[in-house]
Amino acid sequence: MILEDKGKPDWKAVLEPAHGSGKDGKPDGDRRPDLVCFSHLRWDFVFQRPQHLLTRFARKGRVFYFEEPVRDQDCPEPCLRMALREAGVMLITPHLPADFSEAKTHAALGELVDGMLSRWSIREFVAWYYTPMALHFTSHLKPSLVVYDCMDELSAFAGAPPAMSEMEHRLLARAELVFTGGASIFAAKKHRHKSIHLFPSSIDKDHFRKARSEGPDPDDQRAIGRPRMGFYGVLDERLDAGLIAALADLKPRWHWILVGPVCKIDPAGLPKRPNLHYLGRKDYSDLPRYLAGWDAAMMPFAHNDSTRFISPTKTPEFLAAGKPVVSTSIRDVVDPYGKQGLVHIADGPEAFASACDAALAQRGDRAWLAKADRFLSKHSWDRTWEEMDGLMATASGGRAQAKGRGAHV
């Protein structure tokens, strides 16, 4: 069963294969294969790497974003809910009865995927994975290309399924292309695939440069005193709560602002201080308004398994906003940002607080800002997507030639 959101544009007009598609829905001329993404991340949760990349693909082809299932007490049978999102991306959310076993879950999801492919005549498509666990219900599919965009070491995250490592091994064996979201995870996996490519966190410069123009503070930030050290992102096990508490105590006249949803940790465990401000989740479109009101930005990440391979997208975003940045010694921040003098690196409360002093003194430093801008000029999500797209075209061509020779693919 497929349920469509009410009051939306005509789905058929939006999602029917583009004009010029050949027989059996296969590409004709410039017609591109569809892209079907299988992700552990909710599209509507935080706007990050998947949204940046897939909205760009959607400018030239159909994109279906298949999320993890919702366990629904009121769901009598498995169904899909559909909703249009940015750039015409079709968000697909499976709903399953709450009492389904793991085996029934995998079987139901496989049937729902098959129903989605049939409903929208998705015949030649790229299977784009963010989670290896989706192989449980997609291994029977025959996509024209398999891409694994490896953002994080998911097996190291809190609550990761025990089978994650084995499923990733299977996905690496099946994928024609592997992209990685940072240098450290690239180094850890480069020996495991013949076509693995580093694409670190990039930047929508125009969006975050808006923060360089002071405007009215958002209502929930307006009354907060100064100086302000700010962070936005998911508040989870990657944050060093002890460090945040110590900083608030060391600098009681400063104000420490954290913007973002709390996930996978007990909100009651977050430190509470008069000068600590938790503002909750904000839309991507509103982030520059919050950034504009900060004096500097911080990334107080913990050192644990979940941060070993992270490459924070917010690093270039803070720089594009013109904000000095202080971070703990996360490897993909130290190199290149710390080594190039773009970000202050410090561990421990006293050292981090001292680095914050240096960051505040850096406000208005035109030489530093020009250096940051030169670094950022080499990076954009558009450029990242164009390079990925080129690799996909080459891989698709090689696979087609192999098929023509009768090779097993």
Tens digit of each residue's pLDDT (9 = 90 or more) over 369-402: 999 999 999 999 999 999 999 999 999 876 655 5
Q: Provide mean pLDDT across the span 19-47.
A: 72
Confidence of residue 407 (pLDDT cuts 50, 70, 90): very low
All structural domains of the chain, each given as residue ranges with its CATH number in brackets, are 2-202+381-404 (3.40.50.2000), 205-376 (3.40.50.2000)
Tokens linked to 282: 């904000």
Could you tell me the pLDDT band of residue 29, with boundaries at 50, 70 and 90?
very low
Indicate whether 24 pLDDT > 70.
no
For 280: left if phi > 0, alpha if psi spans -120 to 50, otherwise beta; the answer is left
Q: Which two tokens stand for residue 197?
A: 């490519």
Q: What is the pLDDT confidence band of residue 28, given thresholds at 50, 70 and 90?
A: very low
The CA distances from residue 219 to 262, 297, 305, in Å, are 21, 20, 37
Closest CA to 148 of 117, 175, 119, 123: 175
Burial class (CB in 10 A: 0-12, 13-18, 19+), 325: buried
The per-residue pLDDT for range 272-294, each reduced to its tens digit, is 999 999 999 999 999 999 999 99
**Is pLDDT larger for residue 160 or for residue 211?**
211
